[in-house]
Structure 1
Amino acid sequence: MKIKLFITTIALCTLAQFAFSQGSVKGKIKGISTSKKEEPLAFANVYWIGTSVGTVSDANGAFSINHPKGATKLVARTIGFKADTLSIKPGSAEVEFVLVAENVKLEEVVVSGRQRGSTLLALTPLKTEVITASGLCKMACCNLAESFENTASVSVGFSDAVSGARQIKMLGLAGTYTQMLDENRPIMRGIASPYGLTYTPGQWLESIQVSKGPGSVLNGYEAITGQINVEHRKPTAKEPLFVNLFADTDQRTEANVASSLQINERLSTVTLVHASTDPMKKDHNKDGFMDMPTAKQVNVASRWLYMAPSEAQLRAGIKVLAEERNGGQMNNASVANNYGLGLYRSKINNKQFNAYVKFGMPVGEHHDHEAHKESADGHSDCSEECTGDHPHEKEHSECGEECSEDHSKGDDHSECGEECTEDHGEEEHEECHEVEKSLALVADYTYHEQNSFFGIKNYNADMHSVFTNLLFQGGFNESNRYELGASFRFDRYNELLIDRFIQNNATKMEQYINLDRTERTAGVFGEYTLSKEEKMTFIVGARADHNSLYGWLFTPRANFKWDITDKLTFRASGGRGYRSPNPISDNMGILATGRQIAIDNNLKIEDAWTYGASIVRYFKLFNDERASISLDAFRTQFSNQLIVDQEYNKALVSIYNLDGQSYTNSIQVDLNFIPVERLSVFATYRYTDAKVDLKNQGLVKKPMVDKFKALLNLQYATKMNKWTFDATAQLNGQTLLPNLSGDLTQKKDYSEVYPMFFGQVTRKFKKVDVYVGCENIGNYRQKNPILSADSPFSTSFNSSVVWGPLMGRKVYGGLRFTL
């Protein structure tokens, strides 16, 4: 019955998409730069005035957009060029836009050639890397955790060898210090964070934006090492149906469906569905434990957009998911050393519900763009206001998002300021630069529940989280803008850990650790942006929050960008960040050990400063006029940090406040160029140095931080992109391993330096892409990731020291169908 209902819904969506349309309009967008050279404009936004129908041009500047009934004005815009508006009559089939450059050139660095798999946004004050939709297709990218294999900015690994929980690191620190955003709504917090990376399917996404440093104060104080913002497929997408099917040699199967429906000119929706199963029990290294748990997941989301005639916007959505994981020893494993407790098993059940509402509206005098006169050729220089979800429209409008939804002044953080125009003559166009004001409100609710056990340890928790953000945006002129707002967050945690362990190799002990708490945070914030002659941008912001558990928190942040020349850009940023400590949910791997967990009383809020700089140089290399090399360096210094120490006592996992220093230095260099047509090359190298004060040891190198990572990615596409070939090679540096013996005088070991290789071939047909690939081609696996696997209830049992791949070579294949 459910399957029939789902198929019927998809069919209705498809029919309705065409019912409200007058056909489609195709065209091309070209740009004339300051050098007077005309060239196609890729990833320009195209949309109909007065509707929520929009699209984006492809790598060759071409686009196709549905023509809603009654719509007559078609707008094209992209950063660095003046927007243009065409009058379109019913039945028009082909159009062409020619956009003229503004004073500043569009300086976007292409990393992955024609398919633009990844880009560096040149106009952002923060160095921002964008992984585009085509970049997400370079590998299997089944979920968000697997979407970072082609970047050194983010490292991906496992928290332990039992649960299969994925974790990321940025600037050498755990992903918990990176603020995760869903179209600028904070997500993956607290209890929802350990497995959150696997709850965002890669094929649901249009792009991922990765920025280093604390960033803006508009979304709270929790960003310490950086921010990762994900953009989902939009309600206004021109494709009414997208289906992705995936399977691999480990019997993992997955299906993703996205269905966009244009209900009328103002209301649209998208439904996202994900289902996956991983049923195969695998033990490649013969240690008696499953290499990965078996798993089942169902994930459904519905997103809505309404655009009012007044240009106010209302966006809302819900998401529900359920997942079950079963791991531990294989059925035929020996239980000789299991103290009569039977097989070591683990089970993890997660359920989540999320709902959000976003409302945005212009404030004060508003200009009626459709009332302006047009020039004789039907063009208008009037820029229709974009409305949407980005914190800085200038930073994200080239990322493949529909202008009609994603760049609103009406949402919480847009800088889209509108160019208004007075009456236009046939030969003269006058621009005025009045900065319009807007007001936005965001409200978000998340409920997450986890029930789990790891051997004889039980962990059950649930979380209710409410977040609201009110933002007012305005400016004195185009060069002086400001954003003011207030926020409130409510978090209620119910956490109980029943910590059972074997003491002295004989006695089963038990302790109850109750981590229930209620936390309320209210704050105000402001941010000021000064732009000087489009060459220099300075952003300074601050927020003051009162936390019911930790008192007043002051968060200053600043970002600076200077285009020294057309080919040389310098950026600098710095600021403070805080995180409430979550000793268990932030460190789930410690449950998959046989040790007693000892948590100190009165844990303090984590407090850190991050500051750094980057420089980007553009130059000619081979046939590429816009090759680039970039260098960035960042340092994170903690005033207080939650320390998880397995070296202080060999029978304990000690969790305590930092007493001394803790810092991480990270340096990264990237090289991007296109040596020949349709072949792109991306090479990167990152070096990390991390030190921390540990009990009875003083300042030492921080365990479980890889020293370096080198990466090379090649992509080649044939004409018309019929065939695309992707290859990636990684070299992962040594990781200092913790000394688990209890003898602090014993010399510590390092992990191996190991390579990883990935490859994929994609064949494009009219409506279907077929792809096959291989991960970990060299079949490298970490040897013995589980210590004392033959005695899983002893204090020496430990599965949390994971530094390399747990799975060997994997071949996969799939198809993507687009209607």
Structure 2
Amino acid sequence: MKHLLLLIGGLCVAILAQAQSTGKLQGVVRADGKEVPFASVGLKGTTLGTTADEHGHFHLLALPVGTYTVVTSAVGYLTAERNVTISAGQTATLNLTINPNSNALGEVVVSGTLNEVVRGESPVAVELYSPKLFRKNPAVCLFENLAMINGVRPQLNCNVCGTGDIHINGLEGPYTMVLIDGMPLVSSLSTVYGLSGIPSSLIERVEVVKGPASTLYGSEAVGGLINVITKNPAKAPRLSVDVLATSHRDANLDLGIARKIGSASTLLSTSLYHYTQRRDVNEDGFTDVPTQQRVSVFNKWSWTRPEQRVANVAGRYYYEDRFGGQLGWNPTYRGGDSIYGESVYTSRYELLGQYQLPVRGQRIIVSGTFNQHQQNSAYGTTLYRATQRVGFGQLTWARELSIRHSLLAGATYRTTWYDDNTPATASGTEPAQNQPDLIQLPGAFVQDEWRLTPDATLLAGLRYDYNSRHGSILSPRLNYKWGRPDGSRVWRVGLGNGYRVVNLFTEDHAALTGAREVVVPEALKPERSWNVNVNYNRFLPTASGGTITFDASAFYTYFTNKISPDYDTNPNQIVYRNLAGYAVSRGLTLNTEFAFARPLKVMLGVTLLDVFRQERATAEEPSRRVAQVHSPPFSGTWAISYTLQKLGLALDYTGQVSSPMPLPVFPNDSRPSRSPWFALQNVQATHKLREGLELYGGIKNLFNFLPRHVLLRPFDPFDKQVGTDNPQGYTFDTSYNYAPLQGRRVFLGVRYAL
């Protein structure tokens, strides 16, 4: 008993001595006089730190005696530092003030790391675009809006039906992943048409990551990704209306309604587009632009939960009827060989949701999506009917191990079911029967973000996927960021590996014929790519109160096992092989923004590209360099805005310029193999009538630029007279394109938000 009392007494003395040699720190984090919830507070040069509560209050206990630098940060605010002295047995009170970050680097992004992070703090270079940019040259769909982003090129692949995809840094559409709220909803088949049905009334911002992102997002995120972040129903305008019409007689209506119902908030957004005018300015007998009638309905619900935990669910339905072809076509000719037409009926629905588990101190989120895409198309005499269903589930766990160290881990599962009426999904038996394609893709990833110093961050990630057709696939990446705490200067270096599992069953006009057989003579390996990217961001305040921002990147991507379809070796076959060689995409991009103290703002972007593949037809032949079609060596964008405050008037001058680019031509083709230099320029005036109400109008394609002679043999679209007066053996071709076939047009619109 005596020894036990001595032990207890010794422990009490030790605890008392420890208490006398340590102190406490407490306080409140505020910005503009208001508490900042969940701000991060840490002691510089140590692993000691905490997170403020929902009222901005923080407490740090048992701190060794000494003088420290307290670092305070929060999403959307500039990092701040204060010194404090901790005395033995005392509680120091320190009220901290941080300032909102008016710089774009202070905006929150999620695409680079799957975590909400201030853009300036992200180790991965993420470009951020708000609807304000797209309103400088309003368009009826996101596909057209993306033309305003430097290095991103919406490319039309068919001059008749107007289908297209999104190129990033010169790479074709299949290498670009498009997400909605971080979920891969717009997949291979639907990318052709799905981007047309995303109404601008639901877009909060668009995030663009250039370069492989397969470590987090898996297959297809090889060239880069575009993440469309939709509005938070709790913060969306109660009513928003945007009506736009042009002199070409097309009209678009975007309507959004937001309501709060108990602890839930909901946003209902509807987009209607109508265009039935058949224009033929180039007099080739075909519509210059396909007629389109479409409707898109989007509904999102979010719930308010303790500790700002995530809970939302959304759904979207999209229907479109589009036609392109000879002027005299009507639906009775659909699928016939007398008058040529390409008629496409698209029906699609999507469901997505996220839920954060109620685990204290942990950020565990379950998310999932499901979509079904149905296509009913006729391309001349070729009928194409297809259905694709994609299910995706993801579990992520994020944990801050310390103020310097954070971990993200996750598991995913994706299943893709596809069926169509072509030989691609035939069983190969007699009689032929449909055999739908099914791909299972489970995966797991881990990402470790380590703040080496207050100015430097290292990010390492690794992903493992098991494809039911191709087996195991690993995708690593490494990112390093160094920057000043105020975000005025940031360097980023990224090294990443991407992969793409080719889908042989996406829509391809050349494959849509029962006379062609899909041939895969060898076991296809997944395409692999290695990418190095160096990014530099500089933010400079000017003496007159304005700002100048520079964002420059140099990138190099090397591809192996690239898969390309061969339509030429055998006219009755489509042969898929891995490239006997390699492919390269390299270049430089520069984005600049000048915001002057006077009401003038200038945004300029330039991209220099060199995209090619090095291949050999046979082992005996020397390798040859083949330039990537539809990839201009030089392209640029600009947006110049001037505001007349007293008149309530804003003027915008926007445009894109492109250098000559390689085009798909036939041997001895009469059409040039390269496009000319061209620029598409637009002007707009916006008048603010009163709070929330704007009237806008302007001219698109100001100088009336139009491509010439894009169709080959438009007088014989069914190739009935190929052997008559045709020594070169040309056939009808729709793929020669480098700019929209729309001339000058006047537009007028009204925008209202309550």
* Equivalent in 731, 754, 760 of residue 684 of structure 2: 760
Report how far residue 599 of structure 1 moved: 4.9
Report how far residue 313 of structure 1 moved: 3.4
> Does the Cα contact within 8 Å between 1:109 and 1:122 map onto a contact in 2?
yes
* Equivalent in 210, 214, 217 of residue 215 of structure 2: 217
Report how far residue 453 of structure 1 moved: 1.3
Q: Is residue 804 from structure 1 mapped to residue 730 from structure 2 by the alignment? A: no
Report how far residue 124 of structure 1 moved: 2.2
1:560-587 deviations in Å (ceiling 9; x for gaps): 21116864321111212222223452x6
Q: Identify the residue that residue 482 of structure 1 maps to in structure 2.
A: 407
1:616-642 deviations in Å (ceiling 9; x for gaps): 234466846531333211122111222
CA distance in 1, matches of 2:647, 2:588: 35
CA distance in 2, matches of 1:270, 1:245: 19
Q: Identify the residue that residue 688 of structure 1 maps to in structure 2.
A: 609
Q: Identify the residue that residue 274 of structure 1 maps to in structure 2.
A: 271
> Does the Cα contact within 8 Å between 2:671 and 2:709 map onto a contact in 1?
no
Report how far residue 156 of structure 1 moved: 1.7
Q: Is residue 673 from structure 1 mapped to residue 594 from structure 2 by the alignment? A: yes
* Equivalent in 192, 195, 205 of residue 193 of structure 2: 195
Change (3 A) 1:340 1:271: closer
> Does the Cα contact within 8 Å between 1:328 and 1:346 map onto a contact in 2?
yes
Q: Is residue 342 from structure 1 mapped to residue 342 from structure 2 by the alignment? A: no
> Does the Cα contact within 8 Å between 1:459 and 1:497 map onto a contact in 2?
yes
CA distance in 1, matches of 2:174, 2:626: 22
CA distance in 2, matches of 1:531, 1:721: 49
> Does the Cα contact within 8 Å between 1:157 and 1:167 map onto a contact in 2?
yes
Identify the structure with bigger relative contact order (alpha carbons < 8 Å, sequence gap 6+).
Answer: 1
Change (3 A) 1:593 1:666: farther
CA distance in 2, matches of 1:451, 1:340: 15
CA distance in 1, matches of 2:236, 2:388: 37
Name stretches of at least 5 consecutive residues in structure 1 with no aligned partner. 1-27, 33-47, 51-75, 84-97, 112-119, 334-338, 365-435, 500-510
CA distance in 1, matches of 2:448, 2:374: 39
1:504-549 deviations in Å (ceiling 9; x for gaps): xxxxxxx999783100011111110011343111111111111111
1:82-109 deviations in Å (ceiling 9; x for gaps): 79xxxxxxxxxxxxxx98338x987536
Change (3 A) 1:30 1:627: farther
CA distance in 2, matches of 1:350, 1:613: 41
> Does the Cα contact within 8 Å between 1:594 and 1:797 map onto a contact in 2?
no
Q: Is residue 354 from structure 1 mapped to residue 362 from structure 2 by the alignment? A: no
CA distance in 2, matches of 1:648, 1:344: 27
Report how far residue 190 of structure 1 moved: 2.3
Report how far residue 362 of structure 1 moved: 4.7
Report how far residue 805 of structure 1 moved: 2.3
TM-score under structure 2 normalisation?
0.78
CA distance in 2, matches of 1:736, 1:471: 43
| Structure 2 counterpart of 1:203, one-letter code | S
Q: Identify the residue that residue 425 of structure 1 maps to in structure 2.
A: none
> Does the Cα contact within 8 Å between 1:188 and 1:196 map onto a contact in 2?
yes
Identity of aligned residues (%): 24
Report how far residue 81 of structure 1 moved: 5.3
Change (3 A) 1:469 1:478: same
* Equivalent in 296, 313, 317 of residue 316 of structure 1: 313
| Rg (Cα) greater in structure | 2
| Structure 2 counterpart of 1:677, one-letter code | R
- The SS at the match of 1:146 is helix
> Does the Cα contact within 8 Å between 2:633 and 2:661 map onto a contact in 1?
yes
Greater shift, 698-707 or 343-352, is seen at 698-707
Q: Is residue 305 from structure 1 mapped to residue 289 from structure 2 by the alignment? A: no
Q: Identify the residue that residue 713 of structure 1 maps to in structure 2.
A: 639
Q: Identify the residue that residue 388 of structure 1 maps to in structure 2.
A: none
Q: Identify the residue that residue 246 of structure 1 maps to in structure 2.
A: 244
Report how far residue 806 of structure 1 moved: 1.1
Change (3 A) 1:167 1:749: same
Name stretches of at least 5 consecutive residues in structure 2 with no aligned partner. 1-30, 36-52, 56-73, 82-94, 108-117, 425-430, 618-622, 720-729
CA distance in 2, matches of 1:555, 1:230: 24
Matches within 5 A, 1:107-118: 108=104
Matches within 5 A, 1:761-800: 761-766=685-690, 767-794=692-719, 796-800=731-735
Report how far residue 681 of structure 1 moved: 1.0
- The SS at the match of 2:121 is coil
1:122-152 deviations in Å (ceiling 9; x for gaps): 3322222211121121112321111123222
CA distance in 2, matches of 1:169, 1:99: 46
Change (3 A) 1:121 1:512: farther
- The SS at the match of 2:216 is coil
* Equivalent in 225, 228, 238 of residue 230 of structure 1: 228
Q: Identify the residue that residue 731 of structure 1 maps to in structure 2.
A: 657
Matches within 5 A, 1:589-738: 590=510, 599-601=519-521, 602-619=523-540, 623=544, 626-644=547-565, 655-694=576-615, 696=617, 698-719=624-645, 722-738=648-664
> Does the Cα contact within 8 Å between 1:490 and 1:521 map onto a contact in 2?
yes
Name the Cα RMSD after superposition. 3.5
Q: Identify the residue that residue 322 of structure 2 maps to in structure 1.
A: 325
> Does the Cα contact within 8 Å between 2:491 and 2:535 map onto a contact in 1?
yes
CA distance in 1, matches of 2:596, 2:295: 44
> Does the Cα contact within 8 Å between 2:546 and 2:597 map onto a contact in 1?
no
Q: Identify the residue that residue 141 of structure 1 maps to in structure 2.
A: 139
CA distance in 2, matches of 1:590, 1:802: 16
Q: Identify the residue that residue 406 of structure 1 maps to in structure 2.
A: none
> Does the Cα contact within 8 Å between 1:147 and 1:202 map onto a contact in 2?
no
> Does the Cα contact within 8 Å between 1:757 and 1:778 map onto a contact in 2?
yes
